[in-house]
Structure 1
Amino acid sequence: MCTSRFLQKVFLFFFVFCLLAPSAQAADPATSFPEPTSTLIPVMKSVAELKENQVQMWISQADLSKATVDIQYVIHNPSNEKITLPVTFPYQNFDAIKEFQVLTDGKPITLKRFTEITDQAKYRENLVKYGADKWLAVDPITGQVEEKAADLHTIEKVMVLPLTIAAKQEITGTIHYIQSAGIQQKNEKQTVMAYQYLLLPAASWRQLDMLQLRVIAPKDTSFAATLPLKKSGSAGEFHPPLPQQVQSDLKSWDVWELKFNGVPSKNLSFSVMEKGSEEGSDQGAFTWMTYLFMAIAAVLLLMVLISKLKKQTSG
């Protein structure tokens, strides 16, 4: 009698464990937010106009958490006087910026000196106006969007770039750097790389004529974005052009593009994940250990049934 009750209690314990184990293993996924990078932001009001802003983000095949970013700006001074316009660019890893060039009269001038902003708290408050205190996590399979908080205290340095533009002239600026993704660990089989690029700060310019976005992702990935990027089958009219590695092997890449005449209504967030990692994701939490305990529970149940049968037989 005591043995039967003991086996029943043991069985109940394993049964409850098997029910709770999958949810416990799937809970509390690891998450880190993406680096906040942005369009150039004027420090003060100016007559300068941002005629073109073209952004290309090329995700690495070898490491989906890294993207090479190339940006081109065309800035116009419509006034009759030369202006010097300080602009800022929020970025964390300054060592990864390979170059910032301004082309004046066709001659490149490399700006090697960056002034660090002193009032970082005030600068972070300014970024909040453009939605930098949050980012949108996009599920690359379902397209479902979830708003998450971002910690702006990671922005410890800010470049201030003094741009000088002659009267009635334009300058073309380019930036080249490496951006790191945020990580959404959905479970042990699914790791989603999340990227963000702040577009709303472009509203701080007196005028923005054209904004063009391009994201290049490896073919064997699942991709989703908060803005309606369309897949492009060719290089198209875009500056900077497609990387040579992509142009020579277009079949291995997906090129997503979108063009705006003016400032978009929200910032760009997108996610990428290796295809195949989503397969069996619904059962990902059921590990071999869970099945082992279920088998033990079944054996214990059988022992309880046998014990009851013996008791009835002996009675």
Structure 2
Amino acid sequence: MRAILNGCTRLSRMERHGFLNGTETQLHNIYRRHNKMEDYNMVAFCTEQTTAEQEYFYSIQPMGVNACVVNLTVGKNERNLLAEKQIEAARKAEMLVHASHIARFTTPEEARDEAKFFLAQTRAFNLPESAVHTLIFTPTVADKSAMELINFFQETLYLHGYRNQDLCVTAQLITNNIVQPGNLHLKPNLTVIDYNRLYPSVAGAGTWLFDDEYLDEQQLIAYDFMDFYTKPNQMRGRQLSLDTEYIVRAGDSYWMIARQLGIELAELLLLNNATVGDRIVPGQRIKIA
């Protein structure tokens, strides 16, 4: 768990308790109602510090947690010893199961070795190629070479037939321009780690990891804005109207809409006589054809 938290802005346990139980909780609930956060499915990210008890998975599924991302590997030789039980528990709770790897690589060779180690574990657990394979990249020290290493890792998975990929990074890595989503070769889903906020600080996030404690468990929990994890076999995204319009929902931007619908951003902006910085609001109708 601590490996994932490196680079994140943290609150103390006392501050977090206040966040979860005081005025901030009320503000968070108001924000959720106003922006219809309850419309989004949630995803549980499980690490070796997450319980593998079946009753826990049964308890979170009715609350909207419809998918589980089980961390299988860390670096090139560490494994999550609870992974098998967590996968079994999630499946029994009728959740979709996906896999994640926590990066430790600092060279292309290490990135390749970690990718192969991760692939070996996904196959050992009989996870299908259609499952999402998530790279969790949260180094304590990172430089401009980070993009090269991330691309190398994800391209290795792609060459072995694993097309559904996600990159999970802290908001700080993006705001500091260490991770540049526009320069990701495979254009994976983007999960942003941004704890204890009323909304994610990075525009265009497909998934938002908003807390690391859920129902008093050490559990990373996320909103799945684009249904990347929770509806992998359906057209991801939002409700369309008459096949030529898109109805804007909370958190959307022109960039996000273009990405999830497979439309060129320039084409979408031209259709709507808009610029990339123009503000759009929930309920607004956007032309898509």
Task: Calculate the TM-score normalised by the size of structure 1.
Answer: 0.21
Structure with the bigger RCO (C-alpha within 8 Å, sep 6+) is 1
Q: Which has the higher strand share?
A: 1
Higher helix share: 2
**Normalised TM-score (structure 2):** 0.23
Max radius of gyration: which structure? Answer: 1
